[in-house]
Amino acid sequence: MRKALLGIVSKSTSPLKTMMIVALAMTFVFGDVASSLAARQAAIVVDAKTGKVLYSADANGRRYPASLTKMMTLYLTFEAMAKGKISRNTPVVFSAKASAEAPTKLGVKPGGSVTVETAILSIVTKSANDSATALGEMLGGNETTFARMMTAKARALGMNGTVFRNANGLPDPGQFTTARDMATLGIALREHFPQYYGYFSQRSFLYGRQRINGHNRLLGRIKGVDGIKTGYTRASGFNLVSSVSDGNRRIVGVVMGGTSGGSRDNQMANLINTYLPRASTRGGGDLVAKAGGNNPITALAKVLLPKHDAPTPDDRPVIAQDDAIVAEDATVAEDDTAQAEEAAPVVKTRKVKTVIVSAPQVATAQVVAAYAEPTPAAVDPVNTASVPSGWAIQVASSPKQSEAQAFLDKTTKQAPKVLADASGFTVAFDKDGVTYYRARFGGFGSKTAAWKACTALKKKNIECYAVQQ
């Protein structure tokens, strides 16, 4: 480019003409850069009843899935539940590898366990990397085998542009997908497992004495949004798959490579508002795409989704869990957290009393009975629990959990940009025989990030201090 400019701008060229030529050249240079950045983003909106693609932008381009990977982890978990191989109350044991995963995470120590349901809830709300790995190891014997199972299932569903390397979506250069494939998976989850799909609409859940809030900001903000999953790493940008139902219309939207959580959410909101009214009120069943009459449509993968018993390799060997701690590079990215500067230490877990997890309304009693294994107790104990790892900020405490939660909601509305990528939760503590509840926001990757958030909140007259958990 420099030589080209020197050739164009000769000594005989007038100063005014020189400026015009240089300006034009810079337009081409920066235009190429802008095109490159734009090419990183991809999106698709699909009519979930007919399979018609309502909107598409580089939908077949390769992208890093980040935590959207966990959608397939949950698909295989739901499949195992539907087949009676596991139940909601089956314990999920955390290996040293699972416990060592980078945040966000539950922080369960090696050898500790939670129920399948708790693992599911921690994934759909907190996007817990350790829970995803633990589920993968339980279902596949080890995570490598489970990743092969994930990829095989992707092929069975018609996701031909996807390869999985792990259960949680932490950075791996060999793990990739497309916006189109993620839309296929989003539709498959709803079509094949309606009895479990309600988990994706869960906005918070009770873990021990904490209420952990989710990352999906469109739930409750956009009418009809009922899931599905967010994702973020530095390499992937901000990803989101959303399912929307309004009356007789149903769509699934995918946005990948957003520059921030807020811009990604706004882009999805615009897509929903634009294309939901254009979705068909007819159709249904397991058809992802079809063309009819004299109006052929652009179809999603042009395949009929298989039933939920599509073959998955059942070659899971009985392999001793690998206790070697595989250190993920948390400086590359903290999933679903824009403040990914340094890894938070794994905190020690503590025993807690039996806890009733607030379960979503995802199935009738008959369906639950059909899939559940016999259990001696109506309530399953959570064997280990901990506060969320890393840095958090505290904005209030109250003797009533409802007041603490209300303060979290109020603070989120007062400072939506500051807390766009934070996760609110409450933590109980006792003082002089009285139980109080701290209102905190977690998900900050470093002390600096937490302090910065507090400084911004204080400018809005919101008291705040940073704390490492």
Instruction: List pLDDT tens digits, range 335-364.
Output: 333 333 223 333 333 333 322 223 333 332
How deeply is 347 buried, as exposed, middle or buried, from its count of CB atoms within 10 A (0-12, 13-18, 19+)?
A: middle
Residue 435, classed as helix, strand or coil, is strand
Query: What's the pTM value of the predicted model, to 2 decimals?
Result: 0.59
* CATH class given for the domain over 42-278: alpha beta
pLDDT, one tens digit for every residue, the chain (469 residues): 444 444 444 444 455 454 444 444 444 433 332 333 234 789 999 999 889 999 999 999 999 999 999 999 999 999 999 999 999 999 999 999 999 999 999 999 999 999 999 999 999 999 999 999 999 999 999 999 999 999 999 999 999 999 999 999 999 999 999 999 999 999 999 999 999 999 988 888 889 888 888 767 777 778 888 878 888 888 999 999 999 988 889 999 999 999 888 888 889 999 999 999 999 988 665 543 332 333 222 334 333 344 444 444 433 333 222 222 222 223 233 333 333 322 333 333 333 332 222 333 333 232 222 223 233 322 222 222 334 456 889 998 888 888 888 888 889 889 988 888 777 888 887 777 788 888 888 878 788 888 899 999 999 989 888 887 6
Could you give the residue numbers annotated as active site?
Answer: 67, 70, 127
Q: What are the pLDDT digits (tens) for 38-52? A: 347 899 999 998 899
Closest CA to 425 of 456, 450, 388: 388
Task: Tell me the CATH class for 390-468.
Answer: alpha beta
Phi, psi for residue 273 in degrees, rounded to 5: -65, -30
What pLDDT, on a 0 to 100 scale, did the predictor assign at position 66? Answer: 94
Interatomic CA distance for residues 169 and 15, integer angstroms: 54
Whether residue 457 contacts residue 417, with contact meaning beta carbons closer than 8 Å, is answered with no
225 - beta bridge partners?
244
Residue 357 pLDDT: 29
CA distance 251 to 280: 9
Contact 66, 74 (CB under 8 A): no
Is the CB of residue 125 less than 8 Å from the CB of residue 215?
Answer: yes
What is the pLDDT, as a whole number, of residue 469? 61
C-beta separation of 275 from 251 below 8 A: yes
